[in-house]
Amino acid sequence: MKKIFVACAFMVAHHAFAQTEADKLLLNNYRPVSIYKTPAANIQKAAFPIIDMHSHDYIQTQKDVDDWVKLMDKMNILKTMVLTYATGKGFDSAVEKYSKYPGRFELWCGFDYTGYSAPGWQKHAVEELERCYKKGAKGVGELGDKGEGELYSKPTPGKGLHIDDPQMKPLFEKCAALRMPVSIHVAEDEWMYETPDSTNDGLMNAFKWHVDMNKTGKLDHDALIRSLENAVRDNPKTIFIACHLANSCSNLQVLGNMLDKYPNLYADIAARYAEIAPVPRYAAAFITKYQDRLLYGTDNSPEEHMYLTTFRILESADEHFYETEMFNYHWALYGLDLPKEVLEKLYRKNAEKILNEK
């Protein structure tokens, strides 16, 4: 009897210690390691040659450019779109930096909003767009609106101007005439609008990217989606690319409804791998249904592990793995196991259609 009492006392003490330690554990420090011994693919490069439709000017030197090209060769990436946001000297310097590899990089410019508070500013903006085009710009982007107007273009953003503002129409008409697609980021995903508390399953990212809706006049998620739809509808000759699956990953049908209605709309999957990998059947069904309208992109610094993670999520049937450091979510990921014909369109063929290369 005494032995049983001692054992029970030890178990109670151990439980109390474990509970105390659990109470101290911070989600930000939680790094789960999958215990499942399931098959795992060992993908070393993309199954098909890729055109990365969403990257940025992440690098500084000519050696960095050389190294990036070597990595692209290793990963089976044919070409990368560098979305510079820039106009003027900033765009020109970016063109110069990548000029050694004309077939491997394409540079996209921003819009020049200089003087946009005064009537007639579009004339200068269109002239600068034409100049950038002659300098080598193949598209426009990434534009961005998180509720207060276009914020990404450099050196002069268009704060207060949303993509469906009538003032934007001359610029989009010129894009159509020059066959320059327009890449735009509207809103953020739903987690970033929810209260960042214990009920938010994207909590750490929700803290980092939380959207403050207390500002007067700021558009919310749904209003920003409507602004995108208005612009796409009102400019049918202009090709638009909704970045990040239109930030509708928690309800992809929002994007699907627009793809059903507007043949001039496409979407990239850049930087939304962690948002779709927890729901592989749902995401794979969506990508398969809209396989002619979706584009591969990364939107991350060019690193081997980053590329391989995107391939793993798209190509493999791997189950219950984590990439907490890379994505800052604490949920498990799953491979989408996309069909080969879908992968080839996503990786390259849809981009070739937009870029008029086939």
Domain count, the chain: 1
Q: Strands 158-159, 149-150: parallel, antiparallel or unpaired by DSSP?
A: antiparallel
Q: What is the CATH number of the domain that holds 255?
A: 3.20.20.140
Res 10 pLDDT > 50: no
Per DSSP, the residues of 108-161 read EE----TTTTSTTHHHHHHHHHHHHHHHT--EEEEEEESSSEE--SBSS-EET-
Give the single-character DSSP code of 333: B
Residue 13 domain-assigned (yes or no) = no
By residue range, what is the domain housing residue 174? 44-354
Query: Is residue 148 scored above 90 in pLDDT?
Result: yes
| Residue 313, in any domain of the structure | yes
Does the residue 254 lie in any domain?
A: yes
Percent of the chain topping pLDDT 90:
87
Position 37 in a domain: no
Q: Which pLDDT belongs to residue 153? A: 96
- pLDDT at position 25 is 86
* Phi, psi values for residue 129, rounded to 5°: -60, -45
What's the confidence (pLDDT) of residue 8? Answer: 53
- Distance between CA atoms of residues 144 and 187, nearest Å: 8
Give the containing element (helix H, strand E) for 185. strand 182-186
203 touches 228 (CB < 8 A)? no
| Mean pLDDT value across the chain | 94
Return the pLDDT at 21.
79
Using only the alpha carbons of the chain, give its radius of gyration. Answer: 23
Q: Quick one: pLDDT at residue 332?
A: 96
Tell me if 323 sits within 8 A of 309, measured CB to CB. yes
Query: pLDDT band for position 89 (50/70/90)?
Result: very high
Q: Is residue 109 part of a domain?
A: yes
User: Which tokens hold the place of 204?
Assistant: 């750490």
Which amino acid would we find at residue 161?
Answer: L
pLDDT in tens, 324-347: 999 999 999 999 999 999 999 999
Q: Is residue 3 part of a domain?
A: no
Q: Which residue has the tokens 């690193």?
A: 303
Residue 11 has pLDDT above 60, yes or no: no
State the pLDDT at residue 217. 86
* Distant-in-sequence, close-in-space partners of 230: CB < 8 Å, separation ≥ 6: 163, 164
Residue 117: inside a domain: yes
Q: What percentage of the chain exceeds 70 in pLDDT? A: 94
> Nearest-CA neighbor of 240 among 142, 311, 320, 308?
142
Model pLDDT, residue 81:
98
Whether 38 is in a domain gets the answer no
Q: What's the confidence (pLDDT) of residue 19?
A: 64
Sign of the dihedral defined by the CA atoms of residues 280, 286, 287, 289, in that order: positive
Whether 349 shows a pLDDT value over 80: the answer reads: yes
| Start-end of H helices in the chain | 2-24, 62-75, 88-98, 121-135, 169-178, 203-208, 221-234, 253-261, 273-276, 280-289, 304-315, 324-327, 340-344, 350-354
pLDDT of 28 reads 87
Overall average pLDDT of the 236-262 stretch: 98
Q: How confident is the model over 237-241, as a mean pLDDT?
A: 98
